């Protein structure tokens, strides 16, 4: 049986017990000669009422009447019937109080203060009807002690049954809460898994209700980014499968981390290729979107130096370099596909141009279109490459090479990456955490001191924004002084630029 149906059945039993107690008290009073034998009709009525109430519930369910509404009405009618029963008992103090406690305890626990006040009114109305119809005196009639005891026993039985029902409801509610909690956990776990297949911006807007999963598109000005690894097909044939998989996953994970940090929407991975765009579903304005896109590309190229250094230490000697193309223009963005399978992506000529720029790019280079250059030229140091002919475009396209952000130029340079025999050093001044600063400085100072004192050094140290690998045995003697000086300069820049 369904738990809800079982709860409804228990509720009906509690109602039946309440009126059985009332009928028993009245019948006992008639047997003791306290009330006229004609009141046996009242006993029959008290026993018949729960059956009538159950029939009313059944009819209401057939007519799709809300169960809560039916329950409220029946609770008020119960109070009126108990009012009549009190009149039949000639308002005897103990029996009447027992019946009043039974009916009003139910109203308070089920409906609250408002329902209880209405119950009082209905009880008074029932008692008034009993007085007018039966001619019962308003003065309470004394009863024998045995009837009072019988009334209290009936109250005890009803309280015990009500407690059992309340306990059952509590267990039912706890089980329901456990099921809801389990379903919520499953939903969270499922959403976490689905989030890996969707850009965070899209996933967030879907689950917050700001975006609907339906076929719709719009025209927007976006900055589009394409990148791939030069000669990846050849590299994939040379490397063992597990090494290739680990290397590619590391590359894509790091590029994704950088893209998300700048607010880019990752459209897709195509093998080693990455497609990202800025400006949808959230935009900071065309100029800021373009700047973030180029800044992201510059950081990716710098971070690739660190990854190459790391991979070389793992025995991957192939020089993995990426090419990046960026264009800004109006594209069609939205959900494409069918109602059963759709893809959130972008289409248009300006998307194709970004892809063509990436194909025309030299390894380690970031090529941007003239449209992107106009938006970022005040904040990014660029070099004109001139006009190039790209596939699918009739006229030559003016392009520029993005080098570095102007705020990081010269002495303010953000990145330092050195990879040579016996030394690997990577510093990203904007990514070193202030709580790591002391440990980083201590590592640099200790390494420089040991090298100066000709002590054997074999060090590997990594943290966010900083990596240092030193093998004194592989350092050439003539380079040792340069390395010590370089470590000191790195420490000084970290000391000046990274705030505690």
| Statement: residue 282 has pLDDT above 90 | no
Residues 449 and 405 reside in one and the same domain: no
Orientation angle between helical segments 241-261 and 286-313, nearest 10 degrees: 150
Residue 112 sits in the same domain as residue 236: no
pLDDT > 90: percent of the chain: 35
Last residue of a domain, one of 152, 179, 206: 179
Q: What is the CATH number for 329?
A: 3.30.70.1230
Do 382 and 243 have their domain in common?
A: yes
Mean pLDDT over the full length of the chain: 85
Task: Give DSSP secondary structure letters for 247-316.
Answer: HHHHHHHHHHHHHHHTT-EEEEEETTEEEEEESSSS-S-HHHHHHHHHHHHHHHHHHHHHHHHHHHHTT-
In a domain, 209, yes or no: no
Let me know if residue 193 belongs to a domain: no
Which of 110-114, 318-322, 388-392, 471-475 has the weakest average pLDDT? 110-114
348 and 450 assigned to the same domain:
no
CA distance 160 to 239: 77
**Is-contact 382 364, C-beta < 8 A?**
no
- Per-residue pLDDT band for 238 (boundaries 50, 70, 90) equals confident
Look-up: residue for tokens 């510093």? 427
Of the listed ranges 87-96, 251-260, 371-380, the one predicted with least confidence: 87-96
* pLDDT tens by residue, 16-42: 888 888 888 888 888 888 888 888 888
Classify residue 171 by burial, with Cβ atoms within 10 Å: 0-12, 13-18, 19+. Answer: exposed
Residue 399 sits in the same domain as residue 419: no
> At which of 412, 441, 466 does a domain end?
412
Residues 348 and 435 in one domain: no
Domain boundary at 367, 385, 412, which? 412
Residues 37 and 124 in one domain: yes
Phi-psi region of 474 (alpha: psi -120 to 50; beta: other; left: phi over 0): alpha
Domain with 440, as residue range(s), is 415-497
Buried b / exposed e along 442-463 (16+ C-beta atoms within 10 A): ebbeebbebbeeeeebeeebee
Residue 200 in domain:
no
Give the side-chain half-sphere CA count within 13 A for 275: 16
pLDDT of 204: 63
Identify whether 446 is part of a domain: yes
Residue 470's DSSP bridge partners are: 423, 459
Q: What is the DSSP letter of 429?
A: T
Number of domains present in the structure of the chain: 3
Q: What per-residue confidence (pLDDT) applies to 5?
A: 60
Distance (Å) of CA 183 to CA 172, 176, 191, 380, 469: 16, 10, 12, 50, 48
Is 204 contained in some domain? no
Domain for residue 205, yes or no? Answer: no
- Whether residues 142 and 223 share a domain: the answer is no
Write the pLDDT tens digit of every residue in 357-406: 999 999 999 999 999 999 999 999 999 999 999 888 888 999 999 999 99
pLDDT digits (tens, 9 = 90+) for 187-217: 778 777 766 666 666 666 666 655 655 657 7
Would you state the structure tokens that stand for residue 79, as one six-digit string? 């109070």
At 458-493, the pLDDT tens digits run: 999 999 999 999 998 888 888 889 999 999 999 999
- Decide if 12 is inside a domain: yes
Greater confidence (246 vs 373) lies with: 373
Q: What is the mean pLDDT of residues 96-122?
A: 77
pLDDT score of 139: 74
**Which residues sit opposite 218 in a β-bridge?**
333
Q: In the numeric block, which tokens belong to residue 454?
A: 């000709």
- Prediction pTM value: 0.66
């Amino acid at each position: 049986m369904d738990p809800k149906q079982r709860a409804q059945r228990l509720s009906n039993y509690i109602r039946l017990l309440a009126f059985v107690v009332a009928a028993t008290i009245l019948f006992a009073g008639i047997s003791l000669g306290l009330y006229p034998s004609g009141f046996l009709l009242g006993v029959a009525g008290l026993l018949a009422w729960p059956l009538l109430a159950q029939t009313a519930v059944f009819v209401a369910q057939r007519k799709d009447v809300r169960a809560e509404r039916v329950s409220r009405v029946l609770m008020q009618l119960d109070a009126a019937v108990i009012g009549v029963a009190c009149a039949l008992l000639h308002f005897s103090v103990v029996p009447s109080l027992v019946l009043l406690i039974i009916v009003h305890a139910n109203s308070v626990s089920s409906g609250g203060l408002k329902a209880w006040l209405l119950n009082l009114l209905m009880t008074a109305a029932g008692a008034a009807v009993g007085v007018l119809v039966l001619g019962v005196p308003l003065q309470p009639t004394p009863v024998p002690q045995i009837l009072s005891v019988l009334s209290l026993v009936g109250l005890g039985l009803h309280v015990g049954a009500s407690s059992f029902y309340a306990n059952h409801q509590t267990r039912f509610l706890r089980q329901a809460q456990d099921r809801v909690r389990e379903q919520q956990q499953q939903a969270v776990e499922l959403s976490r898994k689905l989030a890996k297949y969707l850009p965070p911006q899209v996933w967030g807007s879907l689950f917050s209700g700001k975006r609907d999963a339906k076929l719709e598109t719009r025209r927007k000005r976006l900055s589009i980014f394409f990148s791939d690894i030069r000669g990846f097909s050849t590299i994939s044939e040379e490397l063992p499968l597990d090494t290739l998989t680990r290397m590619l996953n590391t590359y894509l994970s790091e590029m994704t981390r950088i893209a998300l940090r700048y607010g880019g929407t990752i459209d897709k991975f195509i093998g080693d290729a990455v497609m990202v765009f800025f400006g949808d579903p959230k935009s900071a304005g065309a100029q800021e979107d373009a700047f973030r896109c180029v800044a992201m590309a510059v950081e990716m190229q710098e971070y690739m130096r660190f990854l190459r250094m790391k991979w070389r230490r793992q025995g991957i000697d192939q020089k993995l370099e990426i090419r990046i193309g960026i264009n800004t223009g109006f594209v069609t963005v939205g959900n494409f596909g069918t109602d059963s399978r759709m893809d959130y992506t972008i289409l248009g000529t300006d998307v194709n141009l970004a892809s063509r720029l990436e194909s025309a790019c030299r390894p380690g280079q970031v090529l941007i279109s003239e449209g992107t250059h106009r938006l970022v030229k005040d904040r990014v140091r660029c070099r004109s490459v001139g006009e190039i002919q790209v596939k699918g475009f009739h006229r030559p396209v003016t392009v520029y090479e993005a080098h570095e952000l102007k705020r990081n130029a010269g002495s303010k340079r953000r990145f330092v990456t050195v990879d040579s025999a016996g030394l690997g050093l990577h510093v990203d001044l904007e990514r070193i955490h202030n709580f790591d600063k002391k440990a980083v400085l201590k590592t640099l100072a200790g390494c420089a001191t040991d090298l100066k004192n000709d002590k054997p050094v074999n060090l590997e140290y990594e943290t966010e924004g900083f990596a240092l690998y030193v093998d004194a045995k592989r350092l050439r003697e003539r380079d040792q002084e340069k390395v010590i000086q370089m470590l000191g300069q790195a420490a000084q820049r970290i000391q000046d630029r990274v705030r505690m």
